[in-house]
Amino acid sequence: MDDKKYTPVIGLEIHVELKTKSKMFCGCLADYFGHKPNTHCCPVCLGLPGALPVPNKTAIDWCIMIGLALNCKIPNFSKFDRKNYFYPDLPKGYQISQYDKPFCIDGKLEINVDSYKKLIGITRVHMEEDTGKLIHSMVDGKDVSLIDFNRSSVPLVEIVTEPDFKNSKEVKIFLQKLQQVVRYLGVSNADMEKGDMRLEPNISLKITGEKSLPKYKVEVKNINSFKFVEKAIDFEIKRQKEILESGETPAQETRGFDEKKGKTVSQRSKEEAHDYRYFPEPDIPPIKFTDLEIDSLKKAMPELPDEKFKRLQKEHSLSEYDSEILTREKSTADYFEEAVKIGKDHNVLPKQIANTIINKKINVNNVLPAELIKMIISTTQVAAIDEGELEKIVKMVLDENPKAVEDYKNGKTQAIGFLIGMISRKLNNIKLDSQKVKKILERHLN
């Protein structure tokens, strides 16, 4: 067996469904999930003869916002293209997509991987329409494939990265960050269980030190979880290494991931761009953007996770750890900031609020920020108790616990903690000024 070392070369194609009200090229409702099959359709998304597409402006704006969030350049000129292929879930026999003039190009996104940071190149972010959905079922005792066209022509953004990943961990961290960015923008739920975000890694191996890319690549299609994408990549690296070490070259192909067996399976030979016979979409004129239009989209964008992370650290003196947890979900970050505003009037510090949200795993959908502040105040308020009453209780506890008193006098100073606990119990566990109680106890004991 050859002992040459191989370096993985991994790139990603990610499809993100946008949560616009209507579909990409018609007025049908885009919210199809869980609805009866073929109830969100019209002549346009069914590809009937003579039906003409009209682009959804909101979907295009949101696609550009994703590009801006990924630090892409936005060209002033763009167009739609026809991607021709024949598959039952594609009613027109072609998909309206983008080829050589996408909406967004040349971006980058920085990720933090344990001890190092890494910049991942974004080749392009483009707009297309989703396909229908094949449902494999049994009718009259026969295995059949049925088609639900509710998903057909739902707005779909495709994000293509450079082959900058070296392992499955980097891929997972990037995908989690991308999901976070898309959710912060409010343009997609990016819920992988519902198919809002679908992952397709391209994997190949090169001999370590070689500059050129490998002469083949294997694409694994439609993975719907971070865990499965990691498993698929790790399996492919092992499989391809074994093929290369035997002196062969892995086939350029499209594979699927078998979740039950934890391995990839061959589906078909991988197509090249020319196989799709792209040409400009004749029913949609080219689209031009002015710099002013692009600037106005930039200004309309919300604060993104990295910006919020840095601001929370700076404004509220939070640690990196606290800021990272609070900004994972936009809803948690917004909740924290609302609680900080309320807490200010009650002298509750941002750090106390952050600690409570993180340590008590507060469900931000069930507990109002004002209720959280009340909770913090009640657990930190020291009870005001009459000094004479406290003296009586201290004497009572000392009389009832002669062994602890003896232990203390014999040098076991930790016994005082036990006595403070007994005093607290007598007062129904209300929070006491422990330093004050300790002083009274020491006076009596000494």
Indicate the SS3 state at residue 77: strand
Q: What is the pLDDT along the chain (446 residues), one digit of tens a residue?
A: 345 689 999 999 999 999 999 999 999 999 998 899 999 999 999 999 999 999 999 999 999 999 999 999 999 999 999 999 999 999 999 999 999 999 999 999 999 998 899 999 999 999 999 999 999 989 999 999 999 999 999 999 999 999 999 999 999 999 999 999 999 999 999 999 999 999 999 999 999 988 888 999 999 998 999 999 999 999 999 999 999 999 999 999 999 999 999 999 999 886 676 788 999 999 999 999 999 999 999 999 999 999 999 999 999 999 999 999 999 999 999 999 999 999 999 888 999 999 999 998 999 999 999 999 998 887 776 556 677 888 888 899 899 999 988 988 888 888 888 888 888 887 766 666 778 888 888 888 88
| Interatomic CA distance for residues 228 and 278, integer angstroms | 32
| Interatomic CA distance for residues 59 and 17, integer angstroms | 10
Boundaries of every domain in the chain: 6-292, 303-380, 387-445
List the one residue out of 322, 305, 309, 330 whose CA is nearest residue 338. 330
List the one residue out of 324, 336, 12 whose CA is nearest residue 180. 324
pTM over 0.95: no
pLDDT, position 54: 97
pLDDT, position 1: 37
Strands in 149-296 per DSSP E: 155-161, 197-207, 218-220, 253-258, 263-269, 279-280, 287-288
The arrangement of secondary structure in 387-445, i.e. its CATH architecture, is Orthogonal Bundle (1.10)
| Interatomic CA distance for residues 34 and 137, integer angstroms | 17
pLDDT, position 2: 46
Strands 155-161 and 116-129: antiparallel
CA 390 to chain centre: 53
